[in-house]
Structure 1
Amino acid sequence: MAAPTVVLLPVWGAGHLMPMIEAGKRLLATTGGGGRALSVTVLVMRPPTEQQASEVEGHIRRAEAEAAAAGLDVRFHRLPAVEPPTDHEGPVEFTSRAVELHVPHVRAAVSCLPSVAALVLDLFCTPLIDVARELAVPAYVYFTCNAAALSFFLRLPALLEEAAGEFAEMDGAADIPGLPPVPPLCLPTPVMERARPECAWYAYHGRRFADADGIVVNTAAELERGALSAIAAGRCTLGGPAPALYPIGPVISFPPPAEPPHDCVRWLEAQTPASVVFLCFGSGGFFTAPQAHEVARGLERSGHRFLWVLRGPPAAGSRQPTDADLAELLPEGFLERTRDRGLVWPTTAPQKEILARAAVGGFVTHCGWNSILESLWCGVPMAPWPLYAEQHLNAFALVAAAGAAVAMEVDRGRGNFVEAAELERAVRALMGGGEEGRRARERAAEMKAACRSAVEDGGSSAAALKRLSSDILCRQLPSSSLATP
C-alpha cells in the first residue's frame, strides 16, 4: 500500500513555497525509514504572472531533485489555472481571493488521493480548513512568519473590536500577548486602514487559525518563548482553546555554493572579518532615486565597508523590481569615491551565501521573517528597515524582544523613508564599538547557537517536528491498534 500522504498547499511566493516544501521534507525524514511512513504531495497553484510561474517551476525542479537524492517521496500536483481577481486593493486581498477560487480544485485533488494523512495550509489558505472538515482530514496551518506575528493574527479580531478608530490614532500601545507594548505605528501595514479589504482578510485568517488542528510555526522555542507561551495559554484567543503549536524552525534550505563563486562572494572573501555591512531588501524591495541618494550619502559618511544590493522600481504594469540603473539612481561620483570600500550590486544576489561569509558584520534588512532567520542562523546582527506586510512588527520584535538589532527610525508617513543621517547613525551603531551594537552582536551570537541546537537531534524544534509526525501518524491508526496489548 502507498504511504499516507501529507498534502501541502502553499501560495506561490518563494518565501511561502520553499519553506513549506523544506518543512515537508523534514517531516518525512523525521518519520524514519527514509520517510516511508508518510509521503508528501504538494498542490501547486499557478502564479498570476509568467515570470512568477517560471520561478516556481525552477523551485519545483530543484526540490524534486533534492527529494529524490534524499530518498523522500515528494510529489507535485499542479492545480488547474483560475482567472485571478482584477478588482483587488492589495496583495493580501488578491492572494486570499485567488485561494478561494482554487477551493473546488483543491477539494477534487484531495478527494482523488488514496490516503490523506493531513492537509497543511499556507497562512493565506484558511478557507481550505472547511474542505478538510468535509473530507474528515486533519488541517494544520503552516505559518511562515514568526510567533510574534502569529500572536498578532490571533489577537486581531478582538483588537479591532476594542479600538474605536484607526490603530495609528490609538492612545498608548497595542496589547499583543507575549510582546512588550507595541507602538501603533509598528503594527502590520494591511491593518493600518480598517475600512480596506486587506484588514478584513487579516482578521478573517486570524479567526480561522483557531479552527485548525494545529499551527506549525517557522520559529524555535528559544527565539520566541514569550509569544509562544502566550499563544499556548490562550491569551491571544480570549481564553478559548489555542490550537496545538509546533515550532519547528528555523526552516531554511541552503543550496550548495555556486561554482565559480558569485562576484559578491568573491569580493567579500577579500575583506577582513566583520568589516562589511550588507544591505539587501528582499525580492520586492527597490529604491527610487531620492531614497537611493539618501542611502548612498549615509553609507559614504558612515566610513564603513558595505555591500549594497540595489534594485530599481518595477517596470510599468509589473510589481517586480528591475535591475538598477546605477547612473540614474546614485549620486554623481559616489561609486568612484567609495570604490575602495564598497560594492553596489544592481541585480539579485545570493543572500544566504553572503550572510554566511565572515566578512559580514551587520545586515540592513527589510525584516522579512526568512531574511531574519537567515541572519540569525549566521549570527549577524541587524538594522531593521521594514517596508510592508508584517515587517514593521517583525522589526519591533527584533529590537524590543529579541535584542539582536539596533533600532533605525523609518518614516511610514513618507513611504518608509530613511534619512541619510539616520542610516549613518544606525550603521555606525551596528558596526562600531558602542554599547548598542555590542549588545546586538552578543544577542545575535546567542541566537545563532540557539537556532542550530534547536534543529539538532534532541533540540526543541526537532522534538516539535517529531511530535507533529507522531500526531499525524496516530490519526491514521484505528482505535483498536492504540489499545494496550
Structure 2
Amino acid sequence: MQETIVLYPIPGIGHLVSMVELGKLILRHHHHHLSVTVLLTTGRFDSLTTTAYVNQISQTIPSLIFHHFPSLPPEVPFAPAPAPAPRSPFSDLFDFIANNNQNLLQALQSISETSTIRALIIDIFANAALKISSALSIPTYHFCTSGIASVALMLYFPTIHNQTTQSFKDLTNIYLHCPGLPPLRATHMPEPLLNRDDQPYHEFLHIAYSLAKSRGILVNTFEALEPRVAKALSDGLCVPNASTPPLYYIGPLLANPENRTSECLEWLDSQPYRSVVFLCFGSDGVFSAEQLKEIAIGLEQSGHGFLWVVRNPQKKRFSVALEPDLDALLPEGFLDRTRERGLVVKSWAPQVEVLSRESVGGFVTHCGWNSILEAVCAGMPMVAWPLYAEQHINHNLLVEDMKLAMAMERREEDGFVSATEVEKRVRALMDSEDGRAMRERCREMKEEALAAWVKDGSSLTAFGKFAQSWES
C-alpha cells in the first residue's frame, strides 16, 4: 500500500501557504515512497485568493493532492430566536473546525482505503481534529505557522492562567513574563486571550494543554533566529512539572518568488539603490481613514521614496473589502506631489519579489510571521507596527531580542500612530547609524537562514529527526 502524510490547515491564506510549503518539503525529501494530501474545508471562510492559490499549486505540483471537504449543512432553527449577540471571529472559526470533524473522519477513512497514513499534521488551531485522529489511531503532530515564541507562550499559558483570576484586558500596565521572551503587556496578548469569559479563551487553554502532550510540534522558524526562547523550551521552563513535547524547527518555509512583472516591480527597478521604503500590512491589516492620512503625511514629510500597499478601511477583520478609492482616502494632492518618488498600490503587492529588489531599503510591517521570515530571508531591516493576533509578541522579539527592527511608537489606548512618528521612523530606518547597524545584522541573519538548510544545518537536522519519528 502507498504511504501518505495528511496535512490539515485552518482556513486563511497565510496558514495554507505555510502548510503547503511543509508538504512540498516532505515531497522533496521523501517523494519516492510518500504522497501528501492537504485537507481543505469548504464554506464561509473561502476566499478568491485561496481558490486561486490552490488552483495554481494543483497545476504546478500535481503530486500534492488537495482533498476538499463538502460544505457543512446549513443550521435550521427550530423556532424564531432573538438576534444573537455578536460573536468573536475566533469562536466562529473554532466551531467551524469542530463541525467539520465528520468530514475529517470520512476523508481519513477514504484515504486509508488506498494508503497507509503515516502521520496527520494539523494546524495548532485545528485542535478539534485530535478527537478523530485519536479514535483512528493515526499519529498526529501539530504545526505552528508562527515562531518559537508563540509556541512557548501557548505552552506557558496555563501557568499564566493560574496566576490571576482577572482578564488580561483589565490588567493595564501589567507585564506578563514567559521564559525566554521579553516581558509582554497583558493587554497585548492575542485578542482571543484578552477576555477570560469568552469561549475562545478557553479554546486556547484547551489547545495549550493538548500541545503539552503532543507527539511533536513543527515550527516554521530556524533556531538561530530565536535562540533564547529555544533554550528556554529545551530547558523545560515553559512546561513546569511536566515534559516538554518534541519540537522541530524546520523553517524558514516560504513560497518561492514567481517570475512575473507588475507595475510596482517595474517601478522599483527604476529607483535608486536602497532608496525606497516598503509599507505593507498583511491580508487583514487595515487602517481607519484617519490613520491612512497620517501615514501619507508622514511619508511625504520624510522625503524618502516609498511603495505603499493601501487597503480599503473596514470595521471587521476577515470581511471582504472593496478596492480603495485612493483619491478619497489620501490627502488632497498627495498622489500628485509624491508621484516622482512614491507609488501607492491598491490592496496587494508581490511582497517576496518586492523585498528582493535592490531599490528597497526598509520594510514597515505588521509583524505577521510570514512577513518577518520573508524580510529576514531578504536581509531587510524593519519598522515594527503590530496590529493583531500574535504580532505584539513578534514585535517584542524583533525589537528587543533580534534587533532586526525599530519600534513604531503607538498610542496605547488605540494603537494610533502620528504622521510625525511615521516620518521619524522612516528617516531613522533609511538614514541613521542605527539603521545601518540594523541592516548589517539583517544581512548576517539572512546568512543564518540560508545555513539552516545546508548539510548539518539546524533545520535540515530537525526535519530528519521529525521524519525518523513517523518512520519508526
1:89 matched to 2:87? The reply is: yes
Name the SS of the counterpart of 1:469 in structure 2: helix
More displaced stretch, 232-241 vs 208-217: 232-241
Q: Tell me by how many angstroms 1:318 deviates.
A: 7.1
1:38 aligns with 2:34: yes
TM-score normalized by the length of structure 2: 0.93
Instruction: Provide the secondary structure at the position in 1 that maps to 2:383.
Output: strand
Q: Aligned partners of 2:160 and 2:318: how far apart in 1?
A: 34
| Amino acid paired to 1:128 | A
* 1:55 maps onto 2:49 in alignment: yes
For residues 206-259 of structure 1, the C-alpha deviation after alignment (integer angstroms, 9 at most, x for no partner) is 22112220000000011111222222332111131111111000100114221x
CA RMSD of aligned residues (A): 2.0
Whichever residue aligns with residue 7 of structure 2, its letter is L
The CA distance in 2 between the partners of 1:311 and 1:166, in whole Å, is 32
The answer to whether the 8 A contact 1:84-1:98 is kept is no
Deviations along 1:3-59, one digit per CA (max 9) or x if unpaired, are x1111101121100111011111012122xxx1222111111114155x1x333322
Q: Given that residues 172 and 187 in structure 2 are in contact (C-alpha distance below 8 angstroms), is that contact kept between their aligned partners in structure 1?
A: no
The offset of 1:287, in angstroms, is: 2.6
Letter in 2 for 1:282: G
| Inter-CA distance 404–294: structure 2 relative to 1 (3 Å threshold) | same
Residue 196 (structure 1) shift: 2.2
Report how many aligned residue pairs link the two structures. Answer: 460
- Encode CA deviations 1:342-399: one digit per residue, 9 max, x unaligned: 1111231111111110111111111110011101110111111111111111111111
The answer on 1:200 being equivalent to 2:196 is no
For structure 1, list consecutive stretches of 5 or more residues without a partner in the other structure: 475-485
Question: Which residue in the other structure is 2:64 paired with?
Answer: 74
Question: 1:110: which partner in 2?
Answer: 108
Displacement of 1:90: 2.0
Instruction: Give the TM-score normalised by the residue count of structure 1.
Output: 0.90
Q: Which moved more, 1:40-49 or 1:296-305?
A: 40-49
Letter in 2 for 1:105: N
Amino acid at match of 2:451: S
Pairing partner for 1:214 from 200, 213, 216: 216
Q: Is the contact between residue 293 and residue 330 of structure 1 (CA under 8 Å) also seen in structure 2?
A: yes
Q: Counterparts of 2:461 and 2:136 in 1: how far apart (Å)?
A: 29
Q: Distance in 2 between matches of 1:256 and 1:20?
A: 18
C-alpha distance in structure 2 between counterparts of 1:471 and 1:318, whole Å: 37
Determine helix, strand or coil for the equivalent of 1:154.
helix
Residue 125 (structure 2) aligns with: 124
Q: The residue matched to 1:39 in structure 2 has which SS?
A: strand
Residue 157 of structure 2 corresponds to which residue in structure 1? 156
Please state if 1:469 is matched with 2:467. Answer: yes
Q: Distance in 1 between matches of 2:315 and 2:387?
A: 19
Distance (whole Å) between structure 1 residues aligned to residue 331 and residue 186 of structure 2: 35
1:456 equivalenced with 2:454 (yes/no):
yes
Deviates more, 1:312-321 or 1:418-427: 312-321
Residue 79 of structure 2: aligned partner: none
* Runs of 4+ in structure 1 over 6 Å off: 84-88, 315-318
Deviation at 1:184, TM superposition (A): 2.8
CA contact (8 A) 1:315 1:322 kept: no
Q: Counterpart of 1:11?
A: 10
- Give aligned-pair identity as a percent: 38
Counterpart for residue 24 of structure 1 = 23
Structure 2: any 5+ residue segments left out of the alignment?
Answer: 76-83
Amino acid at match of 1:42: V
Cα distance in 2 for partners of 1:316, 1:466 equals 42
Query: How far apart are 1:165 and its partner, in Å?
Result: 2.2
The amino acid across from 2:468 in the alignment is S
- Residue aligning to 1:418: 417
SS of residue matched to 1:323: coil
Conserved in 2, the CA contact under 8 Å of 1:118 and 1:140?
yes
Query: 2: CA distance between counterparts of 1:353 and 1:153?
Result: 33
Whole-Å separation in 1 of the counterparts to 2:128 and 2:45: 23
Which of 171, 189, 196 pairs up with 1:187? 189
Aligned partners of 2:466 and 2:160: how far apart in 1?
A: 30
Question: Which amino acid in the other structure matches residue 142 of structure 1?
Answer: F
One-letter code aligned to 1:303: G
